[in-house]
Amino acid sequence: MAITSLLDTVFRRRKRKSTDFISIFEFDFDTIRAATNDFSDLIGRDGFGSIYKSRVCVEVPSERDFRNEVEILSKLRHKNLIHLLGFCSMLDQRYLVYEFMPNLSLDCFIYDPHRASQLSWKMCRNIVQGIARGLRYIHEESGLWMVHRDIKPKNILLDSDMKPKIAGFELARMMQQGESEAETTGVVGTVGFLDPEYMRTGRVSVKYDVYAFGVTILTIISRRKAYPIGEEPLVIYVMRCWNRGEAIDVIHEVMREEESEDSISEILRYIHISLLCVDDNPETRPSVDNVLHWFSCSSTPLPEPTNIW
Protein backbone atom coordinates (compact mmCIF):
# COMPACT_ATOMS: atom_id res chain seq x y z
CA MET A 1 0.00 0.00 0.00
CA ALA A 2 1.41 3.40 -0.97
CA ILE A 3 2.45 5.83 1.76
CA THR A 4 0.08 8.44 0.32
CA SER A 5 -2.88 6.24 1.19
CA LEU A 6 -2.34 6.98 4.85
CA LEU A 7 -3.62 10.46 4.22
CA ASP A 8 -5.54 10.29 0.98
CA THR A 9 -7.50 7.02 0.95
CA VAL A 10 -10.17 5.46 3.08
CA PHE A 11 -8.80 2.14 4.31
CA ARG A 12 -9.59 -0.16 7.21
CA ARG A 13 -10.41 2.44 9.80
CA ARG A 14 -13.15 2.96 12.34
CA LYS A 15 -14.27 6.45 13.20
CA ARG A 16 -14.81 7.08 16.90
CA LYS A 17 -18.50 7.69 17.47
CA SER A 18 -18.49 9.21 20.97
CA THR A 19 -19.63 12.82 21.04
CA ASP A 20 -16.99 13.44 23.71
CA PHE A 21 -14.23 12.88 21.17
CA ILE A 22 -13.10 14.64 18.03
CA SER A 23 -13.03 12.08 15.21
CA ILE A 24 -9.80 10.12 14.98
CA PHE A 25 -9.17 6.88 13.16
CA GLU A 26 -8.02 3.42 14.10
CA PHE A 27 -5.41 2.31 11.58
CA ASP A 28 -4.50 -1.30 10.82
CA PHE A 29 -0.92 -2.37 11.46
CA ASP A 30 -0.07 -3.14 7.82
CA THR A 31 -0.89 0.44 6.87
CA ILE A 32 1.31 1.81 9.66
CA ARG A 33 4.16 -0.46 8.59
CA ALA A 34 3.84 0.52 4.92
CA ALA A 35 3.65 4.23 5.73
CA THR A 36 6.90 4.08 7.72
CA ASN A 37 8.66 1.85 5.20
CA ASP A 38 8.71 -0.95 7.73
CA PHE A 39 9.84 1.46 10.49
CA SER A 40 13.09 2.23 8.68
CA ASP A 41 13.21 6.01 9.26
CA LEU A 42 13.68 6.59 12.98
CA ILE A 43 13.79 10.34 13.64
CA GLY A 44 13.90 10.40 17.42
CA ARG A 45 13.45 8.79 20.80
CA ASP A 46 12.41 10.17 24.14
CA GLY A 47 11.36 8.78 27.50
CA PHE A 48 7.97 7.87 26.09
CA GLY A 49 8.73 6.03 22.86
CA SER A 50 10.33 5.97 19.42
CA ILE A 51 9.29 8.30 16.59
CA TYR A 52 9.24 7.37 12.90
CA LYS A 53 8.80 9.53 9.81
CA SER A 54 6.63 9.19 6.73
CA ARG A 55 4.18 11.74 5.38
CA VAL A 56 2.95 11.61 8.94
CA CYS A 57 4.72 10.98 12.24
CA VAL A 58 4.31 7.64 14.02
CA GLU A 59 5.16 7.22 17.70
CA VAL A 60 5.44 3.96 19.63
CA PRO A 61 4.57 4.83 23.25
CA SER A 62 4.16 2.81 26.42
CA GLU A 63 0.65 1.58 27.23
CA ARG A 64 0.04 4.25 29.89
CA ASP A 65 1.25 7.08 27.67
CA PHE A 66 -0.72 5.68 24.73
CA ARG A 67 -3.97 5.80 26.67
CA ASN A 68 -3.27 9.28 28.04
CA GLU A 69 -2.48 10.79 24.65
CA VAL A 70 -5.45 9.21 22.89
CA GLU A 71 -7.83 10.29 25.65
CA ILE A 72 -6.57 13.86 25.73
CA LEU A 73 -5.70 14.65 22.11
CA SER A 74 -8.92 13.11 20.82
CA LYS A 75 -10.72 15.86 22.74
CA LEU A 76 -8.57 18.77 21.59
CA ARG A 77 -8.33 20.71 18.35
CA HIS A 78 -6.39 23.96 18.00
CA LYS A 79 -4.01 25.32 15.38
CA ASN A 80 -1.21 25.49 17.98
CA LEU A 81 -1.62 21.89 19.18
CA ILE A 82 -0.33 18.81 17.38
CA HIS A 83 -3.07 17.00 15.46
CA LEU A 84 -3.53 13.33 16.35
CA LEU A 85 -4.69 11.57 13.18
CA GLY A 86 -5.30 8.18 14.70
CA PHE A 87 -3.90 5.14 16.44
CA CYS A 88 -3.24 1.42 16.12
CA SER A 89 -3.44 -1.04 18.98
CA MET A 90 -2.86 -4.79 18.64
CA LEU A 91 -1.73 -7.16 21.38
CA ASP A 92 1.37 -5.55 22.88
CA GLN A 93 1.90 -3.11 20.00
CA ARG A 94 0.60 0.47 20.20
CA TYR A 95 1.10 3.29 17.69
CA LEU A 96 0.05 6.94 17.57
CA VAL A 97 -0.17 8.70 14.20
CA TYR A 98 0.34 12.47 14.09
CA GLU A 99 0.62 15.07 11.38
CA PHE A 100 4.27 15.39 10.36
CA MET A 101 6.11 18.58 11.30
CA PRO A 102 8.84 19.13 8.67
CA ASN A 103 10.90 21.48 10.87
CA LEU A 104 10.86 19.00 13.75
CA SER A 105 11.08 20.59 17.22
CA LEU A 106 12.13 23.98 18.54
CA ASP A 107 15.15 22.60 20.36
CA CYS A 108 16.61 21.54 17.00
CA PHE A 109 16.91 25.25 16.21
CA ILE A 110 17.76 27.07 19.42
CA TYR A 111 20.48 24.64 20.54
CA ASP A 112 22.12 24.29 17.11
CA PRO A 113 24.57 27.14 16.33
CA HIS A 114 23.83 27.14 12.59
CA ARG A 115 20.07 26.88 12.86
CA ALA A 116 19.92 29.31 15.78
CA SER A 117 21.27 32.04 13.50
CA GLN A 118 18.28 31.49 11.19
CA LEU A 119 15.79 32.52 13.88
CA SER A 120 14.98 36.21 13.65
CA TRP A 121 13.21 37.95 16.51
CA LYS A 122 10.04 38.14 14.41
CA MET A 123 10.07 34.34 14.03
CA CYS A 124 10.79 33.89 17.74
CA ARG A 125 8.00 36.27 18.72
CA ASN A 126 5.51 34.40 16.54
CA ILE A 127 6.58 31.07 18.05
CA VAL A 128 6.26 32.39 21.62
CA GLN A 129 2.83 33.86 20.95
CA GLY A 130 1.66 30.67 19.26
CA ILE A 131 2.72 28.59 22.27
CA ALA A 132 0.84 30.99 24.54
CA ARG A 133 -2.34 30.70 22.45
CA GLY A 134 -2.11 26.91 22.58
CA LEU A 135 -1.67 27.00 26.35
CA ARG A 136 -4.61 29.36 26.81
CA TYR A 137 -6.74 26.92 24.84
CA ILE A 138 -5.89 23.90 26.99
CA HIS A 139 -6.11 25.91 30.24
CA GLU A 140 -9.25 27.95 29.64
CA GLU A 141 -10.99 27.34 26.32
CA SER A 142 -11.06 23.58 25.72
CA GLY A 143 -13.31 22.80 28.67
CA LEU A 144 -10.85 20.17 29.96
CA TRP A 145 -9.19 22.28 32.68
CA MET A 146 -5.91 20.65 31.77
CA VAL A 147 -2.26 21.06 32.77
CA HIS A 148 0.30 19.99 30.16
CA ARG A 149 3.16 19.44 32.67
CA ASP A 150 5.96 19.17 30.09
CA ILE A 151 6.22 22.45 28.18
CA LYS A 152 9.76 22.72 26.82
CA PRO A 153 11.43 23.36 23.42
CA LYS A 154 11.51 19.63 22.55
CA ASN A 155 7.71 19.49 22.84
CA ILE A 156 7.17 22.50 20.58
CA LEU A 157 6.98 21.23 17.00
CA LEU A 158 7.33 23.50 13.97
CA ASP A 159 5.43 23.21 10.70
CA SER A 160 6.69 24.23 7.27
CA ASP A 161 5.95 27.89 8.07
CA MET A 162 7.67 27.69 11.48
CA LYS A 163 4.34 27.92 13.25
CA PRO A 164 4.46 26.14 16.62
CA LYS A 165 2.32 23.23 17.78
CA ILE A 166 2.42 21.94 21.33
CA ALA A 167 3.07 18.19 21.55
CA GLY A 168 4.15 15.74 24.25
CA PHE A 169 0.93 15.23 26.21
CA GLU A 170 2.14 12.07 27.96
CA LEU A 171 2.23 13.79 31.37
CA ALA A 172 -0.86 15.95 30.87
CA ARG A 173 -3.34 16.02 33.74
CA MET A 174 -7.04 16.84 33.45
CA MET A 175 -8.80 18.40 36.43
CA GLN A 176 -12.38 18.90 37.46
CA GLN A 177 -14.05 22.16 36.44
CA GLY A 178 -13.23 24.84 38.96
CA GLU A 179 -10.41 22.79 40.51
CA SER A 180 -7.40 25.08 40.89
CA GLU A 181 -4.84 22.38 41.66
CA ALA A 182 -4.54 18.64 42.02
CA GLU A 183 -2.41 16.06 43.83
CA THR A 184 0.00 13.94 41.78
CA THR A 185 1.54 10.58 42.61
CA GLY A 186 5.11 11.80 42.10
CA VAL A 187 7.23 14.63 40.76
CA VAL A 188 7.77 14.15 37.02
CA GLY A 189 8.93 16.46 34.27
CA THR A 190 12.13 17.95 32.86
CA VAL A 191 14.84 19.43 35.06
CA GLY A 192 15.08 23.17 34.52
CA PHE A 193 11.41 23.50 33.62
CA LEU A 194 9.94 22.12 36.87
CA ASP A 195 7.81 24.47 38.94
CA PRO A 196 9.59 24.89 42.33
CA GLU A 197 6.24 24.81 44.17
CA TYR A 198 5.33 21.53 42.46
CA MET A 199 8.70 20.06 43.45
CA ARG A 200 8.06 21.03 47.09
CA THR A 201 4.43 19.93 47.40
CA GLY A 202 3.64 17.55 44.54
CA ARG A 203 0.55 19.62 43.75
CA VAL A 204 0.05 20.78 40.18
CA SER A 205 -1.92 23.68 38.69
CA VAL A 206 -2.01 25.63 35.44
CA LYS A 207 0.69 27.87 36.96
CA TYR A 208 3.06 24.91 36.48
CA ASP A 209 2.75 25.42 32.73
CA VAL A 210 3.19 29.18 33.15
CA TYR A 211 6.54 28.57 34.86
CA ALA A 212 7.74 26.16 32.16
CA PHE A 213 6.53 28.58 29.48
CA GLY A 214 8.58 31.37 31.05
CA VAL A 215 11.69 29.17 30.99
CA THR A 216 10.96 28.24 27.37
CA ILE A 217 10.84 31.91 26.35
CA LEU A 218 14.21 32.45 28.01
CA THR A 219 15.74 29.51 26.13
CA ILE A 220 14.49 30.99 22.85
CA ILE A 221 15.91 34.45 23.58
CA SER A 222 19.23 33.29 25.03
CA ARG A 223 19.71 30.03 23.04
CA ARG A 224 20.88 28.54 26.34
CA LYS A 225 19.72 25.27 27.90
CA ALA A 226 17.49 25.51 30.94
CA TYR A 227 19.84 23.43 33.08
CA PRO A 228 23.28 23.32 31.44
CA ILE A 229 25.74 20.83 32.88
CA GLY A 230 28.36 22.56 35.01
CA GLU A 231 26.63 25.95 34.88
CA GLU A 232 23.95 27.69 36.93
CA PRO A 233 20.33 27.18 35.84
CA LEU A 234 19.12 29.56 33.15
CA VAL A 235 16.49 31.16 35.39
CA ILE A 236 19.10 32.09 38.00
CA TYR A 237 21.47 33.42 35.33
CA VAL A 238 18.74 35.66 33.88
CA MET A 239 17.72 36.89 37.33
CA ARG A 240 21.31 37.85 38.10
CA CYS A 241 21.61 39.73 34.80
CA TRP A 242 18.33 41.54 35.48
CA ASN A 243 19.41 42.49 39.00
CA ARG A 244 22.66 43.97 37.66
CA GLY A 245 20.78 45.98 35.04
CA GLU A 246 22.36 43.85 32.31
CA ALA A 247 19.32 42.00 30.93
CA ILE A 248 20.55 42.74 27.40
CA ASP A 249 23.31 40.16 28.01
CA VAL A 250 20.61 37.46 28.07
CA ILE A 251 19.82 38.10 24.39
CA HIS A 252 21.69 35.81 22.00
CA GLU A 253 24.54 37.67 20.34
CA VAL A 254 23.19 37.19 16.82
CA MET A 255 19.95 38.94 17.74
CA ARG A 256 21.81 41.67 19.63
CA GLU A 257 23.84 42.41 16.52
CA GLU A 258 21.14 42.10 13.87
CA GLU A 259 17.92 43.42 15.45
CA SER A 260 16.83 47.06 15.58
CA GLU A 261 16.61 49.11 18.78
CA ASP A 262 12.83 48.70 18.76
CA SER A 263 13.19 44.93 18.53
CA ILE A 264 15.75 44.85 21.35
CA SER A 265 13.35 46.87 23.49
CA GLU A 266 10.58 44.36 22.75
CA ILE A 267 12.86 41.42 23.55
CA LEU A 268 13.71 43.00 26.92
CA ARG A 269 9.98 43.27 27.62
CA TYR A 270 9.61 39.56 26.86
CA ILE A 271 12.44 38.81 29.30
CA HIS A 272 10.59 40.89 31.90
CA ILE A 273 7.39 38.90 31.27
CA SER A 274 9.34 35.65 31.51
CA LEU A 275 10.64 36.59 34.94
CA LEU A 276 7.07 37.19 36.09
CA CYS A 277 6.18 33.71 34.80
CA VAL A 278 9.00 32.03 36.75
CA ASP A 279 8.16 33.62 40.10
CA ASP A 280 8.66 31.10 42.92
CA ASN A 281 5.15 31.79 44.18
CA PRO A 282 2.54 30.38 41.75
CA GLU A 283 -0.08 32.78 43.11
CA THR A 284 2.02 35.71 41.90
CA ARG A 285 2.55 34.32 38.40
CA PRO A 286 0.30 35.71 35.66
CA SER A 287 -2.22 33.61 33.76
CA VAL A 288 -1.48 32.87 30.11
CA ASP A 289 -4.31 35.24 29.24
CA ASN A 290 -2.50 38.03 31.13
CA VAL A 291 0.70 37.19 29.28
CA LEU A 292 -1.00 37.38 25.88
CA HIS A 293 -2.42 40.77 26.83
CA TRP A 294 1.06 42.01 27.75
CA PHE A 295 2.40 40.70 24.45
CA SER A 296 -0.20 42.59 22.43
CA CYS A 297 -0.29 45.82 24.46
CA SER A 298 3.27 47.09 24.72
CA SER A 299 2.13 50.24 26.53
CA THR A 300 0.68 48.27 29.47
CA PRO A 301 3.04 48.63 32.45
CA LEU A 302 4.41 45.41 33.91
CA PRO A 303 4.75 44.54 37.60
CA GLU A 304 8.26 44.29 38.94
CA PRO A 305 9.61 40.73 39.34
CA THR A 306 9.56 39.79 43.01
CA ASN A 307 12.16 37.02 43.32
CA ILE A 308 15.18 38.66 41.73
CA TRP A 309 18.50 37.47 43.09
* Predicted confidence (pLDDT) per residue in 243-282, tens digit: 999 999 999 999 999 999 999 999 999 999 999 999 999 9
Q: Where does the pLDDT of residue 13 fall: very low under 50, low under 70, confident under 90, or very high at 90 and above? A: very low
Distance CA 199, CA 283 (A): 15
3-state SS of 178-216? CCCEEECCCCCCCCCCCCHHHHHHCEEEHHHHHHHHHHH
**What's the rounded mean pLDDT across residues 24-46?**
73
Find the mean pLDDT for residues 12-20: 42
- Select from 33, 26, 9, 39 the least CA-distant residue to 84: 26
- Which pLDDT does position 19 carry in this prediction? 40
What amino acid is encoded at 87 in this protein? F
Torsion of CA 214, 215, 218, 223, to 10 degrees: -150
Give the pLDDT of residue 135: 98
Q: Which CATH architecture has domain 5-99?
A: 2-Layer Sandwich (3.30)
Mean of pLDDT values over 208-230 = 96
- Mean of the pLDDT values across residues 182-207? 86
2, pLDDT greater than 50 = no
Whole-number average pLDDT of the chain: 84
Residue ranges per structural domain of the chain: 5-99, 107-296
Q: Is the model's pLDDT at 237 over the cut of 90?
A: yes
Q: 158 pairs with which residues across the strands?
A: 164
Mean pLDDT across 203-215 = 95
pLDDT bracket for residue 187 (50, 70, 90): confident
| CATH class given for the domain over 107-296 | mainly alpha
Q: Which residue has the higher pLDDT, 28 or 166?
A: 166
Residue 279 annotated as catalytic: no
Question: Which pLDDT score, from 0 to 100, does residue 120 have?
Answer: 94
Distance CA 41, CA 242 (A): 44
List the catalytic residue out of 41, 46, 150, 289: 150
Question: Comparing 75 with 22, which gets the higher pLDDT?
Answer: 75
Going by DSSP bridges, is the β-strand pair 49-53/56-61 parallel, antiparallel, or unpaired? Answer: antiparallel
Residue 309 has what pLDDT? 54
Can you give the pLDDT at residue 3?
33
User: Quick one: average pLDDT of 184-205?
Assistant: 87
**Residue range 69-85: mean pLDDT, rounded:** 89
Specify the 3-state DSSP secondary structure of 49: strand
The answer, yes or no, to whether residue 38 has pLDDT greater than 60, is yes
pLDDT at residue number 53: 62
Report residue 47's pLDDT band, with 50, 70 and 90 as the boundaries. Answer: low
